[in-house]
Homo-oligomer: A and B are copies of this chain.
Amino acid sequence: MTAPMPVTMSATLAADEALARRRRAGEQVLSLAGGEIGLPVLPALRERLAAAADRNAYGPVAGSPALRSAVAGYWGRRDLAIDPGLVVCGPGSKPLLFALLLAVGGDVVVPVPSWVSYTAQARLAGARPIPVRTRPGEGGVPDPAALREAVALARAAGRDPRCVVVTLPDNPTGTVAAPGTVERLAQAARDLDLVIVSDEIYCDLVFDPADRAVSPAAFAPERTVVTTGLTKNLALGGWRLGVARLPDGPLGREVHARLVGVASQIWSSTAAPVQAVAAYAFDEPPEVVGYVAAARRLHEAVVRAAAERFTAIGAELTPVRATCYLYPDFEPLRDHLARTHDVHGAHALATLLAERHGVGLLPGTAFGEDDSSLRIRVATSRLYGETEAERFEALAADDPTRLPWIKASLDRIAEVLTDIAIP
């Protein structure tokens, strides 16, 4: 059988599975690879799932009316009011992003660096990704001037870019692009007639309210699709639910119809009991708001403490302002790594950390970087405890970095970094 196209296993999921195998084999491993949020389910949401266990009908492809109305309310409270008829639910924001690429068609501009699946999804959708670098310290948004140039070049070469993906706040860098940059990106997309797909799954995980990400939907409302989900805010990755907000107007309604058509052929609908929970969660009752706030404080304390370990050994790091990700650059240590460890790129650096120290994280290559770069992505969201009791305690702690199990992981990071960095 001739393979029609390369299919790469999601780098985060592959790394997670490899670490889980090593852990089962009795090895001591530190999981800094996948961005799964290691926190317990809010008890009120467990109760809602149990109460919805009689729901077994497919329901509408786009999601139940109650869910879509709650999601419209959620976006309304974030200055992105929308008709519930333009909300589409799917089994994760990942399938929605894939279906959007199919629905819009054409080639796709992706930021570099960016989340591991955009490029792979574009290829599966039959599109070619067009990589465009982000501006320093402003991850997730392709540099607007470079975007214009790249699209002009692609079109001159006969290609058909129709879409640009942005991540606000950003994975892998944990940064938030400035509103001015987002506005220029939106203006460029309008001038170039591109649909903007804005992945805002981390939008409630910005540490300082003053840093809040501004959506391109604020500047180009007629062409911006926004996606989010329950995965990051509420630690419900394993429940698989995401939502998309389609733009109002003729373009948005066309993309909406095509998106619902694609969804009807690929996944039919989203698990009905999970939809019932999501309708409750997107209404943002006080216990949900409280959980998200506690999780945000926890992410901030731990990711910043981890950041200090990287800067302490001389890695370069833009201050993290959101999410639970760090994207340190070991460039200042290049000579030392080459000389002492025969490490010349991020892939070799990640392998060294995994095989010598049992520390799993991802090389920048998984996010679209050249292998000569020495950037790696570190996710700290698995450090909150092994048991449910530890995780609840982490959520409630004033200073979670002093909890013994979190402190032990942070100390282990420091120890490993010192070992590889110090001559």
Contacts and interface: CB of A to CB of B under 8 A. Distances in A.
A272 B106 contact: no
A266 B53 contact: no
A54 B46 contact: yes
A103 interface: yes
A179 interface: no
Interface string A94-113: 11001000111110000000
Contact of A58 (B7, B53, B60, B238): B238
Given A258-B7, A266-B95, A40 B13 contact: no
A238 B1 contact: no
25 contacts: A1-B105, A1-B195, A3-B105, A4-B102, A4-B106, A7-B258, A10-B61, A10-B264, A13-B61, A13-B269, A14-B264, A17-B61, A20-B60, A34-B58, A40-B54, A50-B53, A57-B238, A94-B265, A95-B95, A95-B267, A238-B272, A239-B271, A240-B267, A240-B270, A240-B271
Interface stretch (A120-128, A166-174, A281-289, A344-352): A120-128
Interface size class of A (residues with CB under 8 A): 35 or more
Number of copies of this kind of chain in the complex: 2
Contact of A59 (B9, B121, B238, B388): B238
Interface of A: 1-5, 7-10, 13-14, 16-17, 20, 34, 36, 40-41, 45-47, 49-50, 53-61, 91-92, 94-95, 98, 102-106, 117, 120-121, 124, 126, 162, 193, 195, 235-240, 251, 254-255, 257-258, 260-262, 264-274, 388
A55 to B, nearest CB: 6
A404 to B, nearest CB: 23
A1 B162 contact: yes
A56 B17 contact: no
